[in-house]
A and B are shown apart, each in its own frame.
Chain A
Amino acid sequence: MTSKNKIKMDIRNLNLWYDKSQALYDITVPVLENKVTAIIGPSGCGKSTLIRCLNRMNDIINKCRIEGSVIMDDVDIYEKKTDVVEIRKKVGMVFQKPNPFPKSIYENIAYGCRIAGIRNKKKLDEIVENSLKEAALWDEVSDRLDDSAMGFSGGQQQRLCIARALAINPDVVLMDEPCSALDPIATAKIEELIRELVKNYTVVIVTHNMQQAARVSNYTAYMYLGKLIEYGGTKQIFENPKEESTENYITGRFG
Chain B
Amino acid sequence: MLLSRTLKEELIKYLFFCVAAVSIFIIFFIFFFLFQEALPAFQEMGWGIFSTKWNASNGPYGIGAAIFGTLIVTLGAMLIAIPLGILGAIFLSELAPHRLRIILKPIIELLAGVPSIVYGFIGIVLIVRYLQPSFDMLSGYSFLAGSLILGVMALPIIISMSDDAMKAVPRSYKEASLALGATKWETIKKVTIPSSISGISAAVVLGIGRAIGETMAVSLVLGNVMKIPLPPWDMFETTGTTLTSLIVNDMGEATGLHVNALFAGAVILFVIVAIMSISSNILQERVEKKFRGG
Asked if B12 is at the interface (CB within 8 A of a chain A CB), the reply is no
> Can you identify 10 A-B contacts, CB atoms within 8 angstroms?
A85-B182, A85-B183, A88-B178, A89-B180, A95-B172, A99-B172, A99-B173, A102-B195, A111-B177, A165-B179
Q: Assuming the A-B contacts A85-B181, A85-B183, A102-B195, are A161 and B176 also in contact, with contact meaning beta carbons closer than 8 angstroms in the complex?
A: yes
Max chain B C-beta neighbours (<10 A), residue from A85, A93, A102: A102
Chain B neighbourhood of A155, CB < 8 A: none
Chain B neighbourhood of A62, CB < 8 A: 98
Q: How far is the CA of A89 from the CA of B182 in the complex (A)?
A: 9
Q: Assuming the A-B contacts A115-B186, A151-B294, are A101 and B181 also in contact, with contact meaning beta carbons closer than 8 angstroms in the complex?
A: no
Asked if A246 is at the interface (CB within 8 A of a chain B CB), the reply is no
Q: How far is the CA of A191 from the CA of B181 in the complex (A)?
A: 25
Report the count of interface residues on A (CB-CB < 8 A).
Answer: 33
Q: Assuming the A-B contacts A101-B173, A101-B191, are A93 and B293 also in contact, with contact meaning beta carbons closer than 8 angstroms in the complex?
A: no
Chain B neighbourhood of A103, CB < 8 A: 291, 293
B190–A55 CB distance below 8 A: no
Report the count of interface residues on B (CB-CB < 8 A).
Answer: 22
B98–A88 CB distance below 8 A: no
Chain B neighbourhood of A100, CB < 8 A: 176
Binds B, one of A8-16, A132-140, A141-149, A234-242: A141-149
Chain B neighbourhood of A116, CB < 8 A: 181
A102–B292 CB distance below 8 A: yes
B179–A92 CB distance below 8 A: yes
Chain A neighbourhood of B174, CB < 8 A: 60
B293–A149 CB distance below 8 A: yes
Q: Assuming the A-B contacts A101-B191, A102-B195, A148-B293, are A112 and B175 also in contact, with contact meaning beta carbons closer than 8 angstroms in the complex?
A: no
- Hey, what's the 0/1 contact readout for B176-201 against A, CB within 8 Å counting as 1? 11111111001000110001000000
Q: Assuming the A-B contacts A62-B98, A147-B293, are A115 and B182 also in contact, with contact meaning beta carbons closer than 8 angstroms in the complex?
A: yes
A168–B181 CB distance below 8 A: yes
Residue in A closest to B186 when the chains form the complex, CB atoms: A115
Max chain B C-beta neighbours (<10 A), residue from A55, A89, A101, A112: A101
B18 to nearest A CB, angstroms?
41
Asked if A75 is at the interface (CB within 8 A of a chain B CB), the reply is no
